[in-house]
Amino acid sequence: PFLVIDMVTASILMSMGMMMLPPVMIALPFKIIFFVLVDGWALIAGSLVQSYGGT
């Protein structure tokens, strides 16, 4: 999903003619919002606990 956000951001910036603006500056807030919306910390912590616990 993060690669898709990068590609969409880069294509939008290129279509607008903003070649000198780094797409990372625009894509990073969208990536953080997406991570928060899908409850990323709980997913990461849950998978770490599950892999450590062995169940």
Is residue 13 within 8 Å of 19, Cβ to Cβ? yes
- The confidence band for 40, taking pLDDT boundaries of 50, 70 and 90, is confident
**What is the reported pTM?**
0.69
Q: Read off the pLDDT of each residue in 7-34 and give the average, rounded to a whole number.
A: 93
Range of the domain at 8: 2-53
Mean pLDDT of the chain: 90
Number of domains in the chain: 1
Phi-psi region of 22 (alpha: psi -120 to 50; beta: other; left: phi over 0): beta
